[in-house]
Amino acid sequence: MAQHSTHPGGASRVRRRALLGTVVLVVLVALAGLAAYLTRDGRSPAETSAPPPSSPTASSSPASPPGPLTPHTRPHALPVPPKTHDPIAYGKAAAAALWSYDTRAYSQHALRKALRGWLTTETKYADPASVDKVVPSAVLWKEMVANGQFASAKVYEGHFPNAFTRALQKDPGAITQAYVYAVTVSGKQAIAWKGSPAGGAESRSTTLAVQCRPDRPCALVGVMPSVAP
């Protein structure tokens, strides 16, 4: 017979995952409904910031042109979030951080802690579990350490998904209820290890939920379960 977890943090993690899923769905499909969800049970909508509601119309933000991606041989430092009020710029930086790691320079726990530092401090919005899922497990990390494995990321482009842009154009004021932006990022991840410094590279893409407030830089809400075009 299956046993149910009694871990006190389990229920809260499930609630946060459910909240992120709802936020993502509403942002992409019906922005106007986001306020009703976030303010239920007496919650007050956050007065958040970011660019004016009209900014998503210029939705694409290219980085560097596609080209060969070779991992760096020197150890990488832990990722530090940028100070920006631009959700696309933040999303691109977050994606690069999520696609990069270096088992030669720090532990799996240190990387998880650093990536969690990108999350919004509002725990009712933050979804740390979605970020943790991107980090290799402790068992896998141990094997990667033995091989001296590391990865570098190169971001090519970031944009607001089509559904997000259409919803925002339909109701520009809806974004002011939470200022949660959906940002889709594409690029490449290069992986190398001892004995194979050239490694290999593969294309990557992800959609992130980013929150930007008027009184502070943007922060990550979580990693969406699927990529929105």
Residue with more model confidence, 209 or 48: 209
Q: Find the range with the poorest average confidence among 31-40, 127-136, 144-153.
A: 31-40
Residue with more model confidence, 85 or 194: 85
Residue with more model confidence, 10 or 225: 225
- pLDDT of the residue at 145: 96
By CB neighbour count within 10 A (0-12 exposed, 13-18 middle, 19+ buried), where does 84 fall? middle
What average pLDDT does the segment 41-67 reach? Answer: 38
- pLDDT of the residue at 73: 59
Q: Find the range with the poorest average confidence among 37-41, 185-189, 208-212.
A: 37-41
In this prediction, residue 97 has a pLDDT band, given cuts at 50, 70 and 90, of very high
- pLDDT of the residue at 167: 87
Q: Are 69 and 152 in contact (CB under 8 A)?
A: yes
- pLDDT of the residue at 217: 93
Single-letter code of the amino acid located at 131? V
- pLDDT of the residue at 10: 54
The whole-angstrom separation of Cα 100 and Cα 191 is 9
- pLDDT of the residue at 12: 56
The whole-angstrom separation of Cα 177 and Cα 19 is 15
DSSP helix, strand, coil percent of the chain (3-state; round to 5): 40, 25, 40
Q: Find the range with the poorest average confidence among 4-8, 141-145, 195-199.
A: 4-8
Residue with more model confidence, 59 or 95: 95
Angular region, 182: left φ>0, alpha ψ -120 to 50, beta rest: beta
What average pLDDT does the segment 75-100 reach? Answer: 95
Q: Are 45 and 38 in contact (CB under 8 A)?
A: yes
The whole-angstrom separation of Cα 103 and Cα 117 is 19
What average pLDDT does the segment 49-78 reach? Answer: 49
Residue 228 in tokens: 């929105």
In this prediction, residue 30 has a pLDDT band, given cuts at 50, 70 and 90, of very low
Q: How many CA atoms lie within 13 A of 7 on its CB side?
A: 6
